Structure 1
Amino acid sequence: MTMTENGPSVVDRDEFTVRRTITIAAPPEKVWAAITEVEHIARWFPQAAVLDGVAVGAGGLFSFDGYGDVPVQIEELDPPRMIAYRWGGASSLDPVRVDVENSTVFRFTLEPVATGTRLTVVESGFDALSDPAGSMESNRTGWDSELDELVAYLEGGS
């Protein structure tokens, strides 16, 4: 079985966003589970994931090899079509809460299509960071590899 081929992420330097749209040969409910349930998230994105629920305001930590723990918080939720996570630096007051002044938001939007699901991720807010251009480029390559892992996870029969 061959994996679905998808184009790379794109940086918009004027809007301070990174965007990637992919098609996954899996139904929307399977994709939704993969982006909202920690046992699935940890199979393709961070090495470990903890969330205290799937609701606006719910928080947690995504742990990445080489980067450590990254606090996350759900900002928006419209199941099973859209979820937005804020992530970034830890708050100086609470190391497991996101510092809103030093973070970005990535929004997953799902759309059913004939071949499965069209998933768009848009990460925004890079203008709030100390190195917007470097952060956008780093996250552009990150979304390329992570979303390719998501396709492999969902299409690989796991």
Structure 2
Amino acid sequence: MLKFTAIMLVVLLLALLIYASTKPDTFQVQRSIRIKAPPEKIFPFIDDLHAWLDWSPYEKKDPEMKRTFSGPAAGVGARYAWDGNNEIGAGSMEITESQPPSRVVMKLDFTRPFEAHNIVEFSLEPEGDAATELTWAIHGPMPFLSKLMTVFFSMDKMIGKDFEVGLASLRTAVEN
């Protein structure tokens, strides 16, 4: 009986590992929101990393985290590094592309709780004279450990929830 149980556990573990290996090699998560403001009014809230302190959901998860800004205040080369609690981890982001008032692209690197290198993109699409569709997206590689985690957790739900909170805070900041 013990031998049968051990064999079944090994078979189940192998099946889990094989299933995880079939997951995509990359991931993408994105959320959008409509803001009652033109792109020109919203853009500085994204392009100036100091402004993120007012709306980023990650700032609220660890108000005590250590923050370091370097490079220009905004635009290409602006850099923000953090070292926070276990929920936030440690890493940095740097603006690599800034096209006022329609697009900001960032390199996002995590060093803790695990190493990851992703790309973050913000797109601002005007809707008439007084509104904007703002999209926040992240994409990057999915190493095997991440694939294994997605068997049990939805990356879209985990990150997407934070993006929804952040976009709502950004809308409030812009519209007030």
**Equivalent residue for 1:31, pick from 33, 42, 49:** 42
What is the aligned-residue RMSD (CA, Å)? 2.8
Determine the structure 2 residue equivalent to 1:52: 71
- Structure 1 length normalisation: TM-score? 0.69
Deviations 1:2-58 (A, max 9, x none): xxxxxxxxxxx8561111121101121111011111342210014367352234444
Q: Give the unaligned 5+ runs of structure 2.
A: 1-22, 60-66
Question: Which 5+ residue runs of structure 1 have no aligned equivalent?
Answer: 1-12, 92-98
CA distance in 2, matches of 1:126, 1:79: 28
Q: After TM superposition, which residue ranges in structure 1, 4 or more long, deviate above 6 angstroms?
A: none
Q: CA deviation at 1:105?
A: 1.1
% same residue: 23
Deviations 1:48-106 (A, max 9, x none): 67352234444222566641543111232222211111213139xxxxxxx7xx22111
Task: Give the secondary-structure state (helix, strand or coil) at the position aligned to 2:98.
Answer: strand
State how 1:65-144 maps to structure 2 within 5 Å: 66-90=87-111, 102-114=116-128, 115-128=130-143, 130-132=145-147, 133=150, 134=153, 135-144=155-164
Q: State the aligned residue count.
A: 135
8 Å CA contact 2:55–2:169 kept in 1: the answer is: yes
Conservation of the 8 A alpha-carbon contact between 2:71 and 2:77: no
In the alignment, which residue of structure 2 is the partner of 1:16? 27
Letter in 2 for 1:110: L
Q: Which has the higher strand share?
A: 1
Q: Which has the higher helix share?
A: 2
TM-score (norm 2): 0.63
In our comparison, the structure showing a higher alpha carbon Rg is 2
Q: Cα offset for 1:140? A: 1.3
